Amino acid sequence: MYDIIGDIHGHAEELKTLLVKMDYSAIDGVWQHPTRKAIFVGDLIDRGPAIREVLHIVKNMVDNDRALVVMGNHEYNAIAYAHEVQPGEFLRSHNETHTKQHRATMEQFSDYQEEWQDWLQWFYELPLYLDLGDIRVVHACWDQEHIDWLSANTGGRLTTDLLVDAHNKSSRAHTVIEETLKGVEMNIPEECAWKDKDGHARTSNRIKWWMNPRKHFHREVLFNCPDILLDQPLPEHIKFNVYPADAPPVFFGHYWLEDKTPIVQSHNVICLDYSVAKGGSLVAYRWSGEHELHRDNFVMV
């Protein structure tokens, strides 16, 4: 029986409130439930006011078999931001956009530099996905071909070689990591550009990878769909591996949903990121063995 928890982004108070609401309690410094286990979908760090505390809460739970966790794109980005290729040159460049994304984490660890290095090493240990048989968990997108590739090549975890290879945009590793941790995207016309959560103009949109592109319009397949595209069918060249309707339930975060109450995306698909770092809610889904997911099983704070 699992309680799958969405992106936390350093919001420790909300996390503790959510755990209490689900009848978890802190015993000897470890949050735990007598019969259930938590699963975190990644993005523990960046943006929020209590990133160190979140990391300690989650790791203590994982180390004591009270929780599982997968890597988010923010943990992945942090590793790349710290990976120095040569003096002054990093895999993830230290430009204004990237530095802004990591600023809260860097500031909160300014007096704990050795500890931060330990966390970066811990991030390497986080699985890129979890397939528990009856349910699956990934940060952004479950594409079975990508999962099989990761399993065959890395055992489902990040390595230094994979990290470096994934920053070569012409490599298979790049596609697999980008889509698994950041989602599938499609380009849109420049006149349809929209501003993301950080105010950057975007000419690509993330795809709802469980929706058949041949059976739905832009409004149903794209996150943040521009108004001009709402009722237009998707171009024929847009193809991706649709998550099967008969596959086990899959849970993920990443997409900064803004709904006031959580929704079931599909009978076997749930996104748990409801923008706690932008004034939204921290959301969990309490799974107890059901094959068809139900909205009554959400918990939010």
For residue 37, count CB atoms less than 10 angstroms from its CB and return exposed for 0-12, middle for 13-18, buried for 19 or more.
middle
Q: Does 47 score more than 80 pLDDT? A: yes
Quote the mean pLDDT of the chain. 96
Contact 39, 61 (CB under 8 A): no
**Residue pLDDT, tens place only, 80-99:** 999 999 999 999 999 999 99
Q: Which residues, 6 or more positions from 142, have their beta carbon under 8 angstroms from its beta carbon?
A: 129, 136, 180, 209, 243, 250, 252
Give DSSP secondary structure letters for 69-131: E---HHHHHHHHHH-EEETTEESS---HHHHHHHHHHHHHTTT-HHHHHHHHHHHHHSBSEEE
Percent of the chain topping pLDDT 90: 90
Looking at residue 134, what is its pLDDT? 98
Inter-residue long-range contacts of 162-166, CB under 8 Å, 24+ positions, other chains counted: 163/79, 163/80, 163/83, 163/91, 164/83, 164/91
Looking at residue 31, what is its pLDDT? 98
pLDDT band at residue 188 using 50, 70 and 90 as cut-offs = confident
- The residue-averaged pLDDT of 109-135 equals 98
Looking at residue 196, what is its pLDDT? 73
Q: Does 252 score more than 90 pLDDT? A: yes
Query: Of 191 and 183, which is predicted with more confidence?
Result: 183
Q: Which residues, 6 or more positions from 88, have their beta carbon under 8 angstroms from its beta carbon?
A: none
- The residue-averaged pLDDT of 224-244 equals 91
Domains belonging to the chain, first-starting first, are 2-138+254-300 (3.60.21.10)
Instruction: Flag the least confident range among 126-130, 153-157, 231-235.
Output: 231-235
pLDDT band at residue 182 using 50, 70 and 90 as cut-offs = very high
Percent of the chain topping pLDDT 70: 100
Q: Does 2 score more than 90 pLDDT? A: yes
Entry pTM: 0.95
- The residue-averaged pLDDT of 196-202 equals 73
Contact 41, 252 (CB under 8 A): yes
Instruction: Flag the least confident range among 33-47, 116-130, 209-223.
Output: 209-223
pLDDT band at residue 284 using 50, 70 and 90 as cut-offs = very high
Looking at residue 201, what is its pLDDT? 76
In this structure, what are the phi and psi dihedrals at residue 70, rounded to the nearest 5 degrees?
Answer: -115, 160
Query: Of 238 and 249, which is predicted with more confidence?
Result: 249
Looking at residue 120, what is its pLDDT? 98
**Residue pLDDT, tens place only, 270-280:** 999 999 999 99
pLDDT band at residue 192 using 50, 70 and 90 as cut-offs = confident
Which two three-digit tokens encode residue 104? 């809260």
